[in-house]
Amino acid sequence: MTRGWCREGLWGAVVAAVGLFAAVATAGAGSSPLDDGKAFEAKRNYQQAAEAYRRAIAESPTAPEPRYRLAVADRALGRSDEAIEALQHALGLKPAYPEAHVLLGQIYEEQERWTDAIAAYTKAVDLKMKTAEVYERLGGAYRHTREYDKALAAYRQAMDQEPKNLARRYDLANTLAEMGRDNDAIAEYDKILAQDKEFYMAHFQKGVMYRKQDKLDSAELEFTAVLTANPDLASAFFELGQVYARMDKPGAAAAAYREVAQLNPYVGNVNTRLGEIALADGKLDSSIAYFKRALEHDSEQFIIYFHLANAYQKRGNLREAADAYQQVIKLFPVLFDARYNLGVVYSLQGKLDAAVQEFEATLNLNPRFTATHYQLAAVQAKQGKKQDAKKHLEEYLKSAPEGEFVANAKKLLASL
């Protein structure tokens, strides 16, 4: 499963801190609820901060700042929906409130609502909040929607303000790589390395690009440079192993894979890595053979069973896939991906009750794994449980408006 990511930049800390330290000095006898809330917030006592901000809202219902600060506290408490509601109220009172638009964008990022995040950050920029941090976040949101030209424009705006910020240049370079503009990406990675030779991930990305281009000697040099800087980076050994395998150097490849096995606790032995390569290449019979061989040496590694189950599932061997997923769950009960996949397998087998049980277990482990709502609804629809199916479809469409199964979910909902 591929899930999205979001990074917390400096901006969130900056906007959350505005006015707080002055409030600490004034909080106490005779202070206002708003100042009390800021004082609690500065001490990271977000629950009491939220209560104080609600009192401030009751006293001044048309003031936007208490609602904005309530959103900051609610977000810190993990109450994203409440934070969004507070921000929307604040913006209703004061539409030209750039800090509120930025915070709203950050929350949308956390919910992987990239289109909404783009709208929020764009509004902040329109309101003259043209900071490097806002442009960086806007670029990241565009990158997730694969609007790469707009992502590049935003990243370049950020770079114009902070040309020595290597992390942002790295994001820009990765965007170029995703666009297939290999030479431009490599040029940006080289700019990073010219400023900081220890920025080994730039070497890593160059190595990946050279490997894909079959420039194996260049790829070997890049991954060797990575491992010189960070000799414990398992993924670099893995990439180097792939390079050696394609260079027809099986001994060197095996040595690299053994390093991976020693560094990565989730890998049983070199056969696991060989199995992963075969699986990625669609060589299902070979991958199954490698994973079985790996289990002969280490039958307690849940990740090997998980890979084996994936291979069986892709091959259409549903019974074997179910058995392997069950073994994963036995060894590592909290791996919700295994529960989810097992639910899919049971659904394909027509074992609807068992599928429901696994999908419900998935949601118990990870309520934010939104695709599960769609899968569960699809099974419940087959069971004739229309109301339950509607509930999960509506939750899926609300939580993942740009999700993988949106079209199917809308079609199924219309049919119920």
Instruction: Assign residue 31 the CATH number of its domain.
Output: 1.25.40.10
Confirm if 104 and 94 have CB atoms less than 8 A apart. no
Residue 114 in domain: no
Q: Counting beta carbons within 10 angstroms of the beta carbon of residue 318, is it exposed (0 to 12), middle (13 to 18) or buried (19 or more)?
A: middle
pLDDT of residue 261: 67
Within 10 angstroms of residue 299's Cβ, the number of other Cβ atoms is 12
Is 36 inside a domain boundary?
yes
Query: For position 17, what pLDDT does the model report?
Result: 43
pLDDT at 368: 86
pLDDT of residue 128: 92
| Separation of alpha carbons 162 and 130, rounded Å | 12
- Please report the pLDDT score of residue 30 as a whole number: 56
Examine residue 126 and state whether it is found in any structural domain, yes or no.
no
The span from the CA of 266 to the CA of 15, in Å, is: 40
User: What is the value of pTM for the model shown?
Assistant: 0.58
Structural domain total, the chain: 1
The Cα 64–Cα 94 span in angstroms is 6
- Residues in the chain where the model's pLDDT stays below 50: 1-27, 29, 265, 267-268
Q: What is the structure's pLDDT at 392?
A: 94
The pLDDT assigned to 380 comes to 95
Whether residue 280 lies inside any domain: the answer is: no
Sequence-distant (≥ 6) Cβ neighbours of residue 11 within 8 angstroms: 102, 106, 131, 133, 134, 137
Rounded CA separation 50/52 (Å): 5
* Phi, psi dihedral angles at 3 (to 5 degrees): -125, 150
88 three-class SS: helix
CA–CA distances in Å: residue 362 to residues 329, 334, 342, 375, 380: 11, 9, 10, 11, 15
Q: Quick one: how far is CA 113 from the chain centroid?
A: 12
The confidence score (pLDDT) of residue 269 equals 61
* Domain interval for residue 42: 14-95
What is the spatial distance between Cα 390 and Cα 376, in angstroms, rounded to a whole number? 10
* CA distances (Å), origin 134, targets 67, 80, 117, 144: 21, 20, 11, 16
- Please give the structure tokens belonging to residue 99: 């800090």
Among 188, 134, 175, CA closest to 158: 134
Does residue 67 belong to any structural domain of this protein?
Answer: yes
Task: Report the phi/psi class of residue 78: left, alpha or beta, with left for phi > 0 and alpha for psi in -120 to 50.
Answer: left
What are 153-168's pLDDT values in tens digits?
999 999 999 999 998 9
Task: Provide the 8-state DSSP code for 77.
Answer: T
CA distance 321 to 324: 5
Would you say residue 58 lies in a domain?
Answer: yes
Domain contains 50: yes
Residue 309 tokens, joined? 């189950």
In a domain, 51, yes or no: yes
Query: What would the pLDDT profile of 48-107 be if each residue is shown by its tens digit?
Result: 999 999 999 999 999 999 999 999 999 999 999 999 999 999 999 999 999 999 999 999
Angle 90-9-11 (CA atoms, 0-180°, nearest 5)? 40
